[in-house]
Amino acid sequence: MSEGFQMEVCVDSVESAINAERGGAGRIELCSSLLEGGITPSIGEFPLFNLSSFCHFLCIYIYIYIYIVYIFPVYMLIYLSAAVCRPLPVTFHRAFDMVHDPAVALETLVSLGFERILTSGCDASALEGLPLIKRLVEQAKGRITIMPGGGITERNLQRILEGSGAQEFHCSARSSKDSAMKFRNCSVIMGASLSAPEFSQKVADVAKVRTLNAIAKNTL
């Protein structure tokens, strides 16, 4: 990894984690069920990182409280999330993209000791949210890292990095991997009709990770 940028790859399997490392990723975000947007991995995944999993759970908890019941002050939940993880660095995930005032939210997260914000610029993708990401990078002034994420591919990474001034980025870099099953009964759907395909899965693609890595090195 060259100095000056950091590539984070979101993974939900051991295979994807290995592929991300082989492709040159500097960091991984371990999730489960990326089809659902990425949720807290099982405590059994990596016992050494149970505390980290707890922090991710709190972030999800924050999201639930904001949009459902307001039973507990959201500020206190965020504070607990950061406090429990210290001295480990803590990233505030894309719940940030649902806030009413991103500028105010950034200052709150700085005051609470978060190291990084993962954001698509409060839009459908990092490319569409590029203007806001740029403003957040400028507002942060190095106090907190702004990490673009959401729909980043080899086709738009250079534009996002150049247009935002960000030094880190987040991606999944996945491709479909066909199942090894020989016989396939395509008439049967084992899950919901809009769930993942029955006979393939998405995994981090070594070639895509390497390509994105090279683009970042040439851009930053």
How much is the pLDDT for 50? 38
How much is the pLDDT for 44? 61
Query: pLDDT tens digit string along 117-154?
Result: 999 999 999 999 999 999 999 999 999 999 999 999 99
How much is the pLDDT for 81? 66
Lowest mean per-residue pLDDT among 63-67, 80-84, 206-210? 63-67
Helix (H, G, I), strand (E, B) or coil at 204: strand
* Average pLDDT of the residues of the chain: 81
pTM of the prediction?
Answer: 0.78
Q: What percent of the chain has pLDDT over 70?
A: 72
Give me the mean pLDDT over the 88-100 stretch: 88
Q: Which residue type, as a one-letter code, is found at position 212?
A: L
Asked if residues 117 and 91 have their Cβ atoms less than 8 Å apart, the reply is yes
Alpha helices (H) in the chain, listed in sequence order: 14-23, 50-67, 74-85, 102-111, 130-140, 157-164, 206-219
DSSP 4-65: T-EEEEEESSHHHHHHHHHHT-SEEEE-B-GGGT-BPPPTTT-GGGHHHHHHHHHHHHHHHH
Query: pLDDT tens digit string along 140-194?
Result: 999 999 999 999 999 999 999 999 999 999 999 999 887 777 787 877 777 766 6
Q: For the purposes of burial, counting CB atoms within 10 Å of the CB of 185, is it exposed (0-12), middle (13-18) or buried (19 or more)?
A: exposed
Give me the mean pLDDT over the 101-119 stretch: 93
Helix (H, G, I), strand (E, B) or coil at 176: strand
Is the predicted pLDDT of residue 57 greater than 80, yes or no?
no
Domain over 6-90+153-219 is classified CATH 3.20.20.380:
yes
